Chains A and B, each alone.
Chain A
């Protein structure tokens, strides 16, 4: 049961196409799990459609139509030789064998490296992270994996951080988060996540700025946490 959703403002920006690319990845991942928000998105899109339908009109020259029909004609001719490549390329064995990385939402699967393994880095004894290349350089997009029962050192956020739970669950002072839950942490919020006892927890995360660990342990591992958007 999903309890944590992106708010209406985020979904509106997503539908209008004004939300940062990396944050959109998080929204799409949540939509994969959440029919309620898919419903909201359908409504928000139809508002866009209504606005388009009653918006201002500008005359378009006949040339544009002529060029377009030529483009379409060329494509129809070429399409005969075109073979659709809809099958996804195979993943690196180290990824396809990892139980935690199977059956991920399509958009997340697309972010997995195809010809190499994920580079898991140990952030702290219970927490590993692997950076993902996401076609933008404003946010760090990554997997975070917390060992079953593991506590993550208390940390606060230098920038916005969005987390979507993919597998397992974790809890912090505010509640329990299960697959599909979408969390936004504002700069300055401090929290200390703990994974459930029975299994590891895999999260998809989008961070705007370095996450600072607070406390003694934090100071030791802090150097690992520089943000490298990719």
Chain B
């Protein structure tokens, strides 16, 4: 365990690690120095990606017209929460992904009939950043992002599709099954297989 941890720490200092990527560095500047210039560059890069995400998944509770609203809300959260961002814990893209996911859930809940207002639990209580406070996880995860991107590209098309539908289009496994006419078990196993392969490629390093 100690040996593994040491290796991870060593790896973490190596050049080309995700820690060194431009976006993570800019996000650190936004958090630590409150740099509006760095923030403008982050906006230029991530706002079109967030909008692309939203438009790829127009739903009744989050229609395409809400895309700009989502962009503004996510980037506002990015600004306000940036001081808690830690580049050794996650790459900027992962951190912004989680901020975007939470904003999307918030917006959908605001528009939903199912929501009951009286509860004190908020989105950030469920997807709680404090639960990530583990040095071992941090180091490992930050270095893995690039590997994940590479192994994702090599997945069979149906596994890639299933993972994209889950993550990017925000669909539950049973919604995907309904829409594609595939058995739920098939959808689940495609997601699982895809994840397994990504996981395996991380182990192989």
Contacts and interface: CB of A to CB of B under 8 A. Distances in A.
A111 interface: yes
A62 B47 CA distance: 11
Contacts of A87: none
Interface in A1-54: 8-9, 12-13, 15-19, 21, 24-25, 28, 31-32, 35, 38-39, 41-54
Given A47-B167, A135-B119, A9 B102 contact: no
B17 to A, nearest CB: 13
The interface residues of chain B, by DSSP majority, are classed as helix
B121 A110 contact: yes
A60 interface: yes
Interface residues of B, number: 77
A85 interface: no
B16 interface: no
A47 B152 contact: yes
Contacts of A60: 47-48, 51, 68, 71
B7 to A, nearest CB: 16
B72 A64 contact: yes
A217 interface: no
A72 interface: yes
A116 to B, nearest CB: 12
B192 A8 contact: yes
A12 B195 contact: yes
B94 interface: yes
A24 B167 contact: no
A32 B94 contact: no
A32 B120 CA distance: 18
A137 B118 CA distance: 12
B149 to A, nearest CB: 4
Interface in A52-78: 52-61, 64-65, 67-69, 71-72, 75
A52 B103 CA distance: 15
12 contacts: A8-B191, A38-B132, A46-B91, A50-B145, A52-B96, A53-B149, A57-B51, A65-B40, A75-B80, A107-B125, A111-B121, A138-B114
CB-based closest 3 A-B pairs: A49-B94, A135-B119, A56-B52
